[in-house]
Amino acid sequence: MLMLSSLCGYVQADVVVVDSYDSYDLVTDALGIGNESFDFSTYDGSFTSVGVVTSSGTVEVSATSGLEGVLGSYLMTDSIGDTLVIDFEEEVKAVGGNFFLIDQFQLPVVGLMELELSDGTTFLTSLRSDGGFAGFISSRATIESLTLRGYGASVFAAPAVSSLKIGVVPAPAGLALFGCVGLVRSRKRRH
């Protein structure tokens, strides 16, 4: 924890980008950001969009061309070169996921993926054929959306997501309630 504290002391960016689940979990835990996980590998077939209702609000995944769910694998745009957009209803402070690039034969390929947050923060990452993780943690602004664009060996590739983590900071009223519950429990233990 001390090492992380000294690291965070030097970070001046509004958004931190990480490239592993472990790093994402370490930083969000240290900042008190609660995460909820989503598995998009359970979708099969064609969809106009996919809306998932969660305890932290609604998450909507869409693409102009529509979406294609590949059971046991991922949710992808229905057209090569289209963008995948993930919109968040709640005040999201962190988002990370396992992302892929898919070719015209619906096979994962090596390539580049551009991930862009609603505030314009952009990250370009190289993906292997087995995909890769990318995560964003915002210290100030709320993340309203994440847009994915894929560039494979054949110029364009369809972006896909198999899993996603969304981090929300508990509301101050919720934190105060947790504090009161803790205080009551500690008083009961003393008596």
Which pLDDT belongs to residue 42? 94
Q: How confident is the model at residue 13 (pLDDT cuts 50, 70, 90)?
A: low
Given a contact cutoff of 8 angstroms between Cβ atoms, the answer to whether 134 and 28 are in contact is no
30: helix, strand or coil: helix
User: Which CATH number does the domain housing residue 83 bear?
Assistant: 2.60.120
Give the domain extent around 95.
Answer: 11-190
- Which of the pair, 174 or 45, is modelled with greater confidence? 45
Which pLDDT belongs to residue 140? 84
**Is the model's pLDDT at 166 over the cut of 90?**
yes
Q: Is residue 6 part of a domain?
A: no
Q: What value does the mean pLDDT take over residues 153-162? A: 84
Q: How many Å apart are CA 85 and CA 67, to the nearest integer?
A: 11
Give burial (CB, 10 Å; 0-12/13-18/19+) of 178: exposed
The share of the chain scoring above pLDDT 70, in percent, equals 81
Taking alpha carbons only, the member of 136, 138, 134 closest to residue 161 is: 134
Global confidence as pTM: 0.81
Give me the number of domains the chain comprises.
1
Q: How many CB atoms lie within 10 A of CB 3?
A: 8
Q: Is residue 68 part of a domain?
A: yes
Q: Is residue 29 part of a domain?
A: yes
Which pLDDT belongs to residue 134? 96
Which pLDDT belongs to residue 184? 39
Q: Is residue 69 part of a domain?
A: yes
Q: CA separation (Å) from 142 to 23, 40, 95, 171?
A: 20, 23, 11, 13
Q: Is residue 124 part of a domain?
A: yes
Segment 34-52, tens digit of pLDDT: 999 999 999 999 999 999 9
Lowest mean pLDDT among 2-6, 26-30, 73-77, 166-170: 2-6
Phi and psi for 175 in degrees, rounded to 5? Answer: -65, -40
Instruction: Give, as one character, the DSSP assignment of residue 41.
Output: G
Contacts of 53 (CB under 8 A, 6+ apart): none
Q: Is residue 2 part of a domain?
A: no
**Is the model's pLDDT at 27 over the cut of 90?**
yes
Q: Is residue 5 part of a domain?
A: no
Which pLDDT belongs to residue 172? 53
**Is the model's pLDDT at 181 over the cut of 50?**
no
Segment 101-153, tens digit of pLDDT: 998 888 899 999 999 999 999 999 999 999 999 999 998 889 999 999 998 77
Segment 81-92, tens digit of pLDDT: 899 999 998 889
79: helix, strand or coil: coil
Q: Is residue 117 part of a domain?
A: yes
